[in-house]
Amino acid sequence: MEQEPYPLVILGGGPAGLTAAIYAMRAGLTCLVIEKAVAGGAVFLTDKIENYPGFPGGILGPELSQRMEEQAKSLGAEFLQDEVTRVELEGNLKLVKLAGGKTVTSRALVVASGCQPNRLGIPGEDKFYGRGVSYCAACDGAFFRGAEVAVIGGGDSAVQEALLLSKLAKHVHLIHRRDQLRAIQVLQDAAQQAKNISLIWDTLAQEVEGEDQVKAVKLLHKPTGQKRSLPVEGVFIYVGGKPITGFIRHLVEMTPEGYIQAGEDCKTSVPGIFAAGDVRKKPTRQIASAVGDGCNALKAVEDYLLGL
């Protein structure tokens, strides 16, 4: 016999997905969370989180992940470990195809599959990840108070994060491969006016160096071919991010970068499909904002299901 459709399926078990699951269960909606790896998402991979309210002194990423997962499970949310490969529509129903060969059917769908920062792919980047290499100044900047740090990139995120770091670090070296920044003018002006930000133009980061922790970044000045090691304790990399939306790209409206177009109510261009967390086009990508999205999405899911 065919399985009844779930009222709600949630794609991704990061903070956005887990919050949606908690709100769903408390609203009396049975829900299934499909997670391909470990519940907690990017939080599970983060060492210490110091900016999520309720934890003075911070909390370890795996611990916060486990608490969120436990809360959703204790309320009765179901979990399935598998990878979503494609979503199809059949009338109002959403068919979620999984790598394991199964298809799960639901009336409403919350897409909370997150976003992955691009890597530079240089030697030392993986080795020193969490030991000086970071992709998030808002998350890790506080560990570099009074230190010399490098920011790699030239777009809005790179300059924004360089400005944030300039309030904490002793000096920020903003390294860009071109001779001008791509960031909006107001950010460029702010970076150029900051006393402790210096811009290093036409330069490629070639290697992150160190022993246990980062000690320097090796640079190549493209026009002259000159190489040098810049002593820094932190290397923050902002060379774009990849939202994980390949499985739904054919259905919902996206930005050119692949983020799902949805407002604060998390409604996408397809009725009954909602986008929450880092996967949605929005100005901040943090745990607190992902949690907020999970909550907002559920309000919209409830309204949608009531109208069916």
Ligand X SMILES: Cc1cc2nc3c(=O)[nH]c(=O)nc-3n(C[C@H](O)[C@H](O)[C@H](O)COP(=O)(O)OP(=O)(O)OC[C@H]3O[C@@H](n4cnc5c(N)ncnc54)[C@H](O)[C@@H]3O)c2cc1C
9 vs 181, beta carbon nearer ligand X: 9
50 within 8 A of 58, measured Cβ to Cβ: yes
Binding test (CB under 6 A) with ligand X, winner from 136, 168, 204, 220: 136
50 vs 148, beta carbon nearer ligand X: 50
Least separation in angstroms between residue 125's CB and ligand X is 13
Least separation in angstroms between residue 199's CB and ligand X is 25
Annotate the chain with DSSP letters as a single string: -PPPPEEEEEE--SHHHHHHHHHHHHTT--EEEEESS-TTGGGTT-SEE-SSTT-TT-EEHHHHHHHHHHHHHHTT-EEEE--EEEEEEETTEEEEEETTS-EEEEEEEEE---EEEPP---TTTTTTBTTTEES-HHHHGGGGTT-EEEEE--SHHHHHHHHHHHTTSSEEEEE-SSSS--S-HHHHHHHHH-TTEEEE-SEEEEEEEESSSEEEEEEEETTTTEEEEEE-SEEEE-S-EEE--TTTTTTS-B-TTS-B---TT-B-SSTTEEE-GGGB--S--SHHHHHHHHHHHHHHHHHHHHT-
Amino acid at 146: G
Chain residues 156-195 in contact with ligand X, contact rule CB under 6 A = none
Binding test (CB under 6 A) with ligand X, winner from 8, 9, 10, 43: 43
Binding test (CB under 6 A) with ligand X, winner from 22, 72, 285, 300: 285
Residue 237 makes contact with ligand X by CB under 6 A: no
Residue 106 makes contact with ligand X by CB under 6 A: no
Report d(CA 24, CA 75) in Å as an integer.
Answer: 9
Residue 290 makes contact with ligand X by CB under 6 A: yes
Q: Applying CB under 6 A, which part among 175-183, 214-222, 231-239, 279-287 lies near ligand X?
A: 279-287
115 vs 159, beta carbon nearer ligand X: 115
**Residues marked as catalytic:** 136, 139-140
Lookup result for tokens 């177009």: 261
Residue 17 makes contact with ligand X by CB under 6 A: yes
Residue 113 makes contact with ligand X by CB under 6 A: yes
Residue 286 makes contact with ligand X by CB under 6 A: yes
Binding test (CB under 6 A) with ligand X, winner from 6, 7, 9, 12: 12
Q: How many residues bind ligand X (CB under 6 A)?
A: 38
Residue 13 makes contact with ligand X by CB under 6 A: yes
Q: Applying CB under 6 A, which part among 151-159, 197-205, 260-268, 271-279 lies near ligand X?
A: 271-279
Handedness of CA 120, 279, 291, 73 (dihedral sign): negative
Binding test (CB under 6 A) with ligand X, winner from 96, 287, 297, 300: 287
Amino acid at 277: G
Chain residues 59-98 in contact with ligand X, contact rule CB under 6 A = 83-84
Binding site for ligand X (CB under 6 A): 11-17, 34-37, 41-43, 45-46, 49, 51-52, 83-84, 112-114, 117, 135-136, 139, 244, 247, 277-279, 285-288, 290
